[in-house]
Amino acid sequence: MRVLYSFPHKLGADRICYTAWQQVVWLSAAGASIMAFPGVLHRAVPAEVVVRPTLAWGRARISYRVLGTRRACALHDFIVARRLQRMAGQVDVVHTWPLGALRTLKAAARLGLPALLERPNAHTRFAYAVVQRECERLGVVLPPGHEHAFKADVLRREEEEYRLAGLLLCPSDFVRQTFLDRGFAPEQLARHQYGYDDRLYFPGPSLPAERRGLNLLFVGGCAPRKGLHYALEAWLKSTAHQGGTFRIAGDFVPGYAAALAPSLAHPSVRLLGHRRDVAELMRQSDVLVLPSLEEGSALVTSEARGCGCVLLVSDAAGAYCRHLENGLIHRAGDVGTLAEHITMLDQDGGLRRRLREASLRTAHEITWRAAGVRLLEVYSQAIAAAQERKQPSCPREDLNQTNLRGQAARIG
């Protein structure tokens, strides 16, 4: 299968750049022939992957900071669309990413190619609304350049990309539902998955030592959308704060720490700042908490499972787990239920062990290797559907009449 993979940012850098890099690596491992068009290649990919950056020539690069990210993405999109027009017959499927897809999706449509658009987060209109409402409630003002601060031009462009995409790639049921709620048809939404690197995220040689008190961990950007304020409130309502420790690894957006100051000052709460030893922190912890209000599918939840952490997540976190089977799930914003779940895990060591063991038994299903296989399956389905649409439909009665006319002509 010949895949044109278009990514307008630095392939292999942090966050979505890391996600895209993992997809390219493991799609190639699954057997796809990948031609990657990143803005810039930040981290090496397998030798068999053809890489043609759009915003870099040798050591020379166009600066995203100087040009502006949105203009850089638009330039990338223009270049990829031009290249695609010259590649008729060399590509089977096109994979694009937000803000760098508009012209490429149009070019793919002209060539009759199935074109997919990655959705690393929920529907942008939903995400903007949820974050704005929560910030207003907390009295927090996001910096103008923050990714979840409302931007009308970004919303317009992304909604136009949604309209043009043959399929939207949804990494979680939560993301899919935000599009269904906006009137998208189920057949427009393809469920794939993200993963974790099992070479980095793995359990320790033994179970965490039995000790007095629950060891709870939060990892991620400390911002209202991640729901850290709900986790703190629930922690202090639970029994766990009396003898346990709640560790927070991540940097705070301006104003958020001040809004949470009384809770953060509790002696059971530890602020760790940004950390690079996240895997080790997870191996030392009993539970990872992520009470997000909006996510795509938070990679940290899969990484925590790989390390043996029990997941304690909201239904908006996009985590791959099942309630009371290999994790605990609460409705986003439901502090009461979250507090009950923390107390359950604090008081019932047997429950913690059962959830941990069940989670580890199936963790191989959510690695990046498994994600690459799943994405390749989605591509195959998209190609088959596109080929089916190209087949001329001919009702059986008309077909019979055509055959009879042909036989009559031969006889006559």
Joined together, the tokens standing for residue 102 give: 């508009």
Same fold, 2-195+367-390 and 215-366: yes
CA–CA distance, 387 with 261 (Å, rounded to integer) = 58
Angle at 241 between CA 235 and CA 243, to 5 degrees: 155
Q: Which residues contact 350 (CB under 8 A, 6 or more apart)?
A: none
3 state SS of 185: coil
- Residue 189: its pLDDT value, please? 98
DSSP for 223-254, written as a single string: SGGGTHHHHHHHHHHSSGGGT-EEEEESPBPT
Classify domain 2-195+367-390 by CATH number: 3.40.50.2000
Alpha helices (runs of H) in 314-348, residue ranges in sequence order: 335-347
Nearest to 357 by CA among 210, 198, 208: 208
Residues 161/281, Cβ–Cβ less than 8 Å: no
Residue 155: what residue type? L
Residue 24: what residue type? V
Domain layout of the chain by residue ranges: 2-195+367-390, 215-366
Q: Which residues contact 189 (CB under 8 A, 6 or more apart)?
A: 167, 168, 170, 176, 179, 180
The number of beta carbons lying within 10 Å of the beta carbon of residue 239 is 15
**pLDDT in single tens digits along all 412 residues of the chain:** 999 999 999 999 999 999 999 999 999 999 999 999 999 999 999 999 999 999 998 888 899 999 999 999 999 999 999 999 999 899 999 999 999 999 999 999 999 999 999 999 999 999 999 999 999 999 999 988 888 999 999 999 999 999 999 999 999 999 999 999 999 999 999 999 999 999 999 998 765 555 579 999 999 999 999 999 999 999 999 999 999 999 999 999 999 999 999 999 999 999 999 999 999 999 999 999 999 999 999 999 999 999 999 999 999 999 999 999 999 999 999 999 999 999 999 999 999 999 999 999 999 999 999 999 999 999 999 999 998 887 765 444 443 443 423 333 332 2
Backbone dihedral region of 333: left (phi > 0), alpha (psi from -120 to 50 degrees) or beta? left
Residues shown for the chain: 412
CATH class, 215-366 region = alpha beta
Residue 13: what residue type? A
CA–CA distance, 200 with 197 (Å, rounded to integer) = 6
Q: pTM of this prediction?
A: 0.92
Joined together, the tokens standing for residue 384 give: 């088959």
